[in-house]
Amino acid sequence: MYKVHGFMGDYIELDNSVVERKVCSLEEARSGKHKFYEKESGREIKFDEIPWK
């Protein structure tokens, strides 16, 4: 998962080496509208922990 500067705005992208897809805008992720969790541990991934691509 990455933060991306896109042509139509900034967004969170899921990249699992098979497919890349836009998940939500950075504003939605920053506000807490969308939450992200680690699959193995179930720990919430904080907005600041997501790297830029």
45 and 1 Cβ atoms separated by less than 8 Å: yes
By C-alpha distance, which of 33, 22, 24, 26 is closest to 48?
26
Q: What is the value of pTM for the model shown?
A: 0.81
Mean pLDDT along residues 34-48: 95
- 7-32 pLDDT, tens digit per residue, is 889 999 999 888 999 999 999 999 99
